[in-house]
Chain A
Amino acid sequence: MTMPFYKKVVLYLLLSVSAFFIFAPAIMALLMSFMPGEQILTGTIIPKSFTLEHYRQAFERFPLLSYLTNSLLVSLLIMAGQLLLSSLAAYAFVFLEFKGRDALFFLFIATMMIPFEASIIPNFQTIRDLNFLNTYTGLSLPFFAMAFGTFLLRQNFKQIPKELKEASEIAGMGDLKFYLTVVLPVAKTSLVTLGVYGFLSAWNMYLWPLLATTDDSVRTVQIGLKQLQSQEQLNEWGVIMAGGIIVVLPTLILLFLGQKKLQKGLTEGALK
């Protein structure tokens, strides 16, 4: 059935207006980051000339490059930890039958009801007492175990035929080998989805890095941006926006590349 012409026009109109409103803040930041300072101060919206000065200053006055490296390392670490722990747990919930499995599964569900924000005080004390403040370990350890990731992978592992597991047993293949050589390769797409999701959330984390870093050594780029915003004089909006654009660029690229997979994976994990 083809859509009537008037309906198409209405839809495109609605889509365009919405897209404008959703994208306006990011576009504004992008324009401002290239706009000479005096144009920002006079309230210009479309820049009359472009400059890279703000980016140069942002990198010069702040250790942005080291913040970016820190964020990258921490996010990769969290992503790897989550993939490993979630896939191991999901394997147990799908392929191993044992007494108490349902109770343990319920325990995993229960973890979703404990907000990290409500347990932040003891977590801070734990990391501090282990001397993990200002380390990559301290920034990433609390986020390795992940109920949502386990559920998402469990959904996917369930689609692997049980016969495959039985055949592997007859062939004398152990569980670890079956997990490594059969399950993980088959579930590659879901692992990528979970990886992208984990990386995005880790990169964008705010409260924990704020608490767990007290100096520049492992500070992440989000907290760097907070510093940039609070230490800069208020008229340096161009530099602040340049910092903001640098912070969102990696995650936006990742999101654009993985959007379809992410949507499919998250919907499945959430609902089945």
Chain B
Amino acid sequence: MNEAAVSLGSDAAKLIEKAKKQRRTKNLIKGLLFLLPSLVFFSIFLFYPMIRTVYLSFFLTNASGAPTVFVGLDNFAQIFSSPLFLKSLKTTFLFVLYTVPGTIVISLFLAVIANEKLRGIGMFRTIFSSTMGISVAAASVFWMFLFHPTMGWLNQFLSIFGVEAIGWLTDPKWALLSVSISTIWMNIGFTFLILLGGLQSIDSYLYESADIDGAGYFYKLRRITIPMLSPTLFFVVTVTLINAFQTFGQVDMLTRGGPQNETSVIVYSIYRDAFVNYQYGTASAQAVILFVIILGLTLLQFKLGERKVHYQ
């Protein structure tokens, strides 16, 4: 009797085990089917190109980009001894240095003042986020006129104070700064929207209890708002940083990398080498460098972020 029960029990357990296994296999197939479209597209348009870029960076290529002669690390040696590429690296880092803090500080300021419950605040929020809907091409056209040496608003405004006209886009001293200013403007919409969302999700209870303790506006800003906002800030810094390294459109429209290559950021340099000069090998080597920079930054951000960011 007992034995029978035991054997029945173990049979049932076996059956259940088998059913579970079947279910898991079924789920695996189903899961892969649901993921298949994304995986296929990622493979063709992201993983393969990345590997292919690394591969191409070791070769000389013909005009259509097919590899011809294996040259090892020569392409890398070449770009790192090319003053043009070194300058474009320096330009890219300067551009990042100008645009990332600028974007974050201005957007944070806008998000803080737009987070108050005031009549008509919706209109202000809409205006602040509006640059998100303005494309790089359109924004460049707008700023091109603002920067116009004689008719542009900026120089007209300066002339009121008797300041001499500035060659915003033609003077090598100013060009990168001008492109950066227009970029910050383009970035504000998205960054503002995300930061405002972050501010709104902070528990109002925290402010209420601070009010009871008689805390001042800036004390609350420093002790509640900024720490509670840190995950959001962390996210927008990462996105802005990565976007800055991938800048292309405004450079192509506003300056074409000039004057004297002052605004030739790395993606513009890749574009010019590959699609204007047909030097796919060296262009790929530059793309590899760009990839390494972005990978490194992302990993660094994750590492630092884990430690410093305060999660609710």
Contacts and interface: CB of A to CB of B under 8 A. Distances in A.
B127 A267 contact: no
B145 A237 contact: yes
Contact of A26 (B40, B134, B231, B298): B134
Interface string B170-182: 0000000000000
Contact of A244 (B44, B138, B150, B249): B138
Given A32-B145, A118-B53, A120-B287, A259 B126 contact: yes
Contacts of B32: 92, 98
A99 B24 contact: yes
A206 interface: yes
B128 A22 contact: yes
A101 to B, nearest CB: 6
A136 to B, nearest CB: 16
A226 B137 CA distance: 7
Contacts of A23: 127, 130
B96 interface: no
Q: Is the interface of A mostly helix, strand, loop or mixed?
A: helix
Interface in A214-272: 222-223, 225-226, 229, 237, 240-241, 243-244, 247-248, 251-252, 254-256, 259, 262-264, 266-267, 270-271
Interface of A: 1, 3, 8, 11-12, 14-15, 18-19, 22-26, 28-29, 32, 40-41, 43, 45, 84-86, 88-89, 91-92, 96-101, 104, 107-108, 111-126, 141-146, 150, 175, 179, 200, 203-204, 206-207, 210-211, 222-223, 225-226, 229, 237, 240-241, 243-244, 247-248, 251-252, 254-256, 259, 262-264, 266-267, 270-271
Given A121-B274, A121-B287, A255 B128 contact: no
Interface of B: 24, 27-28, 30-32, 34-35, 37-42, 44-50, 52-53, 56, 64-65, 109-110, 113-114, 116, 118, 121, 124-146, 150-151, 153, 156, 185, 188, 193-194, 196-198, 201, 211, 231-232, 235, 242, 245-246, 248-249, 252-253, 267, 270-271, 274-275, 280, 283-284, 287-288, 290-291, 294-295, 298
B212 to A, nearest CB: 11
B50 A119 contact: yes
Contacts of A259: 125-126, 129, 193
A15 B124 contact: yes
B201 A267 contact: yes
Contact of B113 (A18, A32, A204, A255): A18
B20 to A, nearest CB: 11
B275 to A, nearest CB: 7
Q: Is the interface of B mostly helix, strand, loop or mixed?
A: helix
B41 A145 contact: yes
B41 A85 contact: yes
A118 B211 contact: no
Contacts of B129: 255, 259, 263
A24 B283 CA distance: 38
Given A28-B146, A122-B56, A142 B134 contact: no
12 contacts: A85-B38, A96-B34, A111-B42, A121-B284, A123-B45, A144-B37, A144-B41, A200-B132, A229-B144, A237-B151, A259-B126, A266-B197
Nearest to B231: A271
A164 B162 CA distance: 71
Contacts of B127: 19, 22-23
A101 B29 CA distance: 11
Contacts of A96: 27, 30-31, 34
Contacts of A211: 275
Given A25-B143, A118-B53, A255-B130, 9 more contacts: A22-B188, A28-B142, A41-B151, A97-B24, A99-B28, A118-B288, A122-B49, A122-B53, A244-B137
Contacts of A252: 130, 133-134
